[in-house]
């Protein structure tokens, strides 16, 4: 089994990250925005793993597990917030109600 | 017993803390008990300590107790310490003893008032601060107490805060005394920097060693201390606050503005008499201020209709006598008069309070009338106090203390004779103005309904103070009447001996002057009952020679004018411009806070991409 070349791995990470960012910017549904955020986080994770494999170091995998933990806690908080917003406003449209205007 | 000295100021402080923390949770009875008993127990301890002190005086006639070290910086070490010597002993007994009687009176006087617990919290705090003032063994402890009593005076004058006039009177008292306090602080700093210590005994010792008599530094320091004393004791030219301070409840006037706080200036000068002996100019000024104030206040008291204002001016006048005594070097006589004045002036205020209690707080003597039959307790108390104030010969305490002062003035050479003449004329006016009040308020036709009866908490303090006002003078009798010298023997270790007039003539003249005043009052006001016509002369003295008017034009208005004129100057416009710029930038930047999450995300993304791009290109 040959190792994936570094540039291809990073290219995949960059593509995933860009897709996630685009999702956050384009989608208006909060749930989908949260999922796009997850994609961005995983893109970062891929970058770590690829880099770790390139230099044969365990650090990349450790960092990925850390990112996974972050993602899990972030999702739990994010979902709770979304649930509350849905109860208050009965919509998940991010543009529908912006009460935090300065 | 001496070791318990620290308890004397601590107990009232504890009472104050309990009352403050328990505000709204304690019953009226509990508040009264805490307020009066904390001072009562302090008095018991104080008298026990005094007994021990008199039976077996400690070495050097002073007992020092160091509580803790406050700070030690740059070679100046300041400790919180108490010093019990004959001078502070006398003051401590007056404060706790008379203070307890007034607290007892107040528990009945203030019944039904809003803020009953608050009143006693302030009053206890005052007693604690006053004890710290007289017991402190260094100038900084003294100054802490000095400011503490000023604060409590402010709080209690404005106690009935719903009337803005009371708040205004409180502010006036605070600001005017503050002028004196500032002078005092500068004086203390001068002493600390030149003599290297703030310990009072040490500083006085160093001053006598290093400053020759009449040296400019000693004179300056003495004058600065005199400024503080004049402010606190309501002497010229800082006397204007005392009559307005009568806005407070009557027990406050009795305790703070008659018996204790206003005599702090006398105590300060007696305590630092070494300094004043080194600065004869300052000492002459003390005597001059005293004589001027006692005459000015005496005349002003003649033109007042409010019973408490009459007593306020008479307090100023009597403290003038004490200053006169200090000015001629009759230190012991000043302390003697301080002692008897505390008795009879507290008595006068309390009996005036007892009168107004039953007259729905009516204080105008022309609306009283005929009270002698209807309020016998208040009448006899007020009469006893008035007799002592007017120095009725032989039978009152005020006679012996005033004689001691005038005798000291007579013996002090030519300048003393001038002060003596002023004092004798003052004695005449004193008899006139106080018996004017007695005849108008207690005799003649009744003008106001009287209601209610007195409880024992009113009658007991009045009785005890009446007895003291009569018999209190027996501790010190002039050579002509048996020559008792209990007080001057006690004070001998701390104060130089008082000179006494050799002949009996000045004594007779002074006694006659007081009697003449009383007699004239009887002739003029026996059948009175009409308020005086408002002649220009009456108005002049009613306003206490127009000092308020003068200060309003000389100080208050120019300062207000300068404040208004300087409100929009160039310095201000610089700061205004900064504020204007900040507001404009804010207006622009706040548009970006749209509340749209996706816009923020885009901003974040663009921002970080740009940053990374810049980092890579460079």
> For B496-541, how does the pLDDT look when each residue is reduced to its tens digit (9 = 90+)?
777 776 677 777 888 888 888 888 887 777 765 567 777 777 777 7
Interface test with B, best of A44, A97, A98 (most B CBs within 10 A): A98
pLDDT value of residue B244: 87
CB pairs under 8 A between A and B: 32
Taking every pair of Cα atoms in chain B, the longest distance, rounded to a whole number of angstroms, is 110
Are the C-beta atoms of residues B484 and B477 closer than 8 Å to each other? yes
Q: How far is Cα B523 from Cα B521, in angstroms, rounded to an integer? A: 5
Residues of chain B with pLDDT under 50: none
Position A100 confidence tier, pLDDT thresholds 50, 70, 90: low
DSSP letter assigned to residue B256: I
Question: Reduced to 3 states, what is the DSSP secondary structure of residue B64?
Answer: strand
* Residues shown for chain B: 618
Picking from B591, B596, B605, the nearest residue to A98 by CB comes out as B596
Evaluate whether ipTM surpasses 0.90: no
B556 Cα distance to chain centroid: 24
Nearest residue, CB atoms, B595 vs list A24, A33, A99: A99
- What is the rounded CA–CA span in Å between residue B577 and residue B580? 5
B103, B108, B114, B119 alpha-carbon torsion, rounded to 10°: 0
Over residues B204-247, the pLDDT tens digits come to: 888 888 888 778 888 888 899 999 999 888 888 888 888 888 88
Rounded to whole angstroms, the Cα distance separating B141 from B153 reads: 18
Which residue, B496, B473, B87, B474, is CA-closest to B328? B496
Q: Give the N- to C-terminal CA distance of chain A in Å, as an integer.
A: 56
User: What tokens appear for B153 in the block?
Assistant: 């005076």
Tokens matching residue B359: 């007259």
The partner residue sitting opposite B597, judged by closest CB among A21, A94, A102, is: A94
Q: What is the pLDDT of residue B589?
A: 87
Interface residue ranges in chain A relative to chain B, Cβ cutoff 8 Å: 21, 24-25, 28, 33, 94-95, 98-102
Segment A7-17 mean pLDDT: 92
Cα B370 from Cα B359, distance rounded (Å)? 12
Q: Minimal Cα distance from B599: which residue of A?
A: A25
Partner-chain contact A95 B596, CB within 8 Å: yes
Cβ–Cβ < 8 Å for B449, B370: no
* Rounded distance between C-alpha atoms, residue B298 and residue B301, angstroms: 5
CB atoms within 10 A of CB B578: 10
Element (H, E) at B606: helix B597-617
SS3 content of chain A, % helix, strand, coil (to 5): 75, 0, 25
Residue B203 and residue B194: Cα distance in Å, rounded? 9
B292 with B239: CB under 8 angstroms? no
Alpha-carbon distances, residue B543 vs B72, B434, B538 (angstroms): 49, 18, 9
The pLDDT score that the predictor gives to residue B137 is 86
Does B586 contact chain A (CB < 8 Å)? no
Cβ–Cβ < 8 Å for B311, B253: yes
Average pLDDT, chain A: 87
* Residue from A17, A23, A25 to probe the interface with B (highest B Cβ count within 10 Å): A25
pLDDT of A44 strictly over 70: yes
Q: Is B25 on the interface with A (CB under 8 A)?
A: no
B590 touching A, CB under 8 A? yes
Beta carbons within 8 Å of B499's beta carbon, 6+ residues apart: B328, B329, B330, B408, B411, B412
Q: Is the dihedral of CA B362, B366, B372, B373 positive or negative?
A: negative
Judged by a CB distance cut-off of 8 A, whether residue B592 touches chain A is: yes
Question: Of B122, B128, B159, which Cα lies nearest the Cα of B12?
Answer: B128
Written as six digits, the tokens of B248 are 């407070």
- Interface touch A102/B590, C-beta < 8 Å: yes
Three-state SS string across B391-431, please? CCCCCCHHHHHHHHHHHHHHCCHHHHHHHHHHHHHHHHHHH
- Burial (Cβ within 10 Å: 0-12, 13-18, ≥19) of residue B468: buried
* Residue in the block written with tokens 């200053």: B323
- Indicate left, alpha or beta for B386 from its phi (over 0: left) and psi (-120 to 50: alpha): alpha
pLDDT at A102: 58
H-helix or E-strand spanning residue B82:
strand B76-84
pLDDT band at A97 (very low <50, low <70, confident <90, very high): low
**Where do we find the tokens 């010229």?**
B236
Q: Are B319 and B262 in contact (CB under 8 A)?
A: yes
pLDDT for res B422: 87
Query: Has this prediction a pTM greater than 0.80?
Result: no
DSSP strand pairing (B76-84 vs B63-73): antiparallel
B78 to each of A49, B81, B196, B271, B304, how far by Cα in Å? Answer: 68, 9, 11, 19, 47
């Amino acid at each position: 089994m040959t190792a994936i070349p570094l540039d291809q791995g990073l290219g995949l990470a960059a593509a995933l990250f860009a897709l996630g960012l685009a999702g956050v910017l384009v989608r208006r549904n909060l749930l989908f925005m949260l999922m796009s955020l997850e994609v961005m986080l995983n893109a970062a994770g891929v970058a770590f793993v690829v880099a770790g494999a390139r230099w044969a170091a365990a650090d990349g995998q450790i960092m990925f597990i850390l990112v996974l933990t972050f993602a899990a806690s972030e999702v739990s908080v994010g979902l709770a917030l979304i649930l509350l917003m849905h109860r208050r406003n009965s919509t998940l449209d991010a543009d529908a109600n912006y009460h935090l205007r300065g | 017993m001496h070791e318990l000295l620290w308890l004397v100021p601590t107990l009232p402080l504890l009472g104050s803390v309990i009352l403050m923390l328990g505000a709204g949770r304690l019953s009226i009875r509990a508040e009264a008990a805490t307020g009066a008993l904390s001072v009562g127990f302090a008095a018991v301890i104080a008298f026990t300590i005094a007994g021990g002190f008199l039976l077996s005086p400690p070495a050097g006639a002073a007992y020092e107790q160091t509580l803790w070290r406050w700070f030690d910086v740059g070679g100046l070490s300041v400790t919180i310490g108490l010093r019990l010597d004959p001078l502070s002993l006398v003051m401590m007994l007056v404060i706790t003893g008379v203070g307890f009687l007034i607290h007892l009176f107040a528990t009945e006087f203030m019944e039904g008032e809003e803020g009953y617990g608050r009143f006693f919290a302030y009053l206890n705090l005052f007693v604690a601060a006053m004890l710290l003032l007289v017991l402190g063994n260094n100038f900084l402890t003294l100054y802490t107490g000095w400011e503490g009593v000023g604060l409590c005076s402010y709080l209690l004058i404005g106690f009935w805060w719903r009337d803005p006039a009371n708040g205004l009177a409180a502010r006036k008292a605070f600001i005017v005394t503050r002028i004196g306090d500032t002078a005092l602080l500068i004086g203390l700093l001068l002493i600390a920097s030149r003599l290297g210590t703030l310990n009072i005994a040490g500083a006085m010792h160093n001053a006598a060693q290093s400053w020759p008599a009449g040296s400019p530094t000693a004179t300056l320091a003495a004058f600065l201390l005199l400024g503080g004393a004049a402010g606190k004791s309501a002497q010229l030219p800082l006397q204007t606050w005392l009559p307005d301070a009568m806005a407070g409840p009557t027990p406050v006037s009795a305790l703070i503005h008659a018996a204790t706080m206003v005599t702090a200036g006398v105590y300060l000068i007696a305590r630092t008499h070494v300094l004043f002996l080194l600065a004869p100019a300052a000492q002459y000024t003390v005597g001059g201020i005293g004589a001027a104030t006692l005459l000015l206040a005496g005349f002003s008291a003649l033109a007042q209709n409010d019973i408490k204002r009459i007593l306020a001016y008479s307090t100023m006048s009597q403290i003038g006598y004490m200053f006169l005594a200090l000015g001629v070097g009759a230190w012991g006589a000043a302390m003697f008069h301080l002692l008897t004045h505390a008795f009879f002036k507290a008595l006068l205020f309390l009996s005036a309070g007892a009168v107004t209690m039953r007259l729905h707080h009516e204080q105008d003597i022309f609306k009283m009338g005929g009270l002698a039959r209807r309020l016998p307790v208040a009448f006899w108390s007020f009469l006893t106090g008035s007799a002592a104030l007017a120095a009725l010969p032989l039978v009152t305490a005020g006679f012996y203390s005033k004689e001691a002062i005038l005798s000291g003035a007579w013996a002090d050479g030519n300048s003393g004779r001038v002060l003596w003449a002023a004092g004798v004329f003052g004695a005449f006016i004193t008899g006139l103005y106080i018996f004017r009040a007695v005849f108008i308020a207690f005799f003649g036709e009744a003008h106001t309904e009287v209601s209610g009866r007195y409880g024992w908490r009113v009658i007991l303090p009045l009785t005890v103070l009446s007895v003291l006002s009569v018999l209190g003078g027996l501790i010190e009798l002039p050579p002509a009447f048996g020559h008792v010298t209990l007080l001057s023997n006690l004070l001998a270790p701390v104060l130089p001996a008082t000179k006494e007039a050799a002949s009996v003539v000045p004594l007779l003249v002074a006694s006659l002057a007081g009697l003449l005043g009383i007699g004239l009052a009887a002739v003029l006001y026996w059948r009175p009952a009409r308020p005086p016509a408002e002649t220009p002369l009456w108005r002049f003295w009613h306003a206490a020679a127009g000092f308020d008017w003068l200060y309003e034009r000389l100080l208050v208005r120019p300062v207000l004018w300068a404040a208004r004129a300087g409100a929009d100057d160039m310095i201000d416009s610089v700061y205004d411009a900064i504020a204007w710029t900040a507001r404009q930038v804010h207006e622009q930047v706040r548009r970006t806070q749209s509340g749209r999450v996706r816009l923020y995300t885009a901003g974040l993304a663009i921002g970080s991409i740009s940053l990374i791009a810049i980092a890579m290109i460079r």
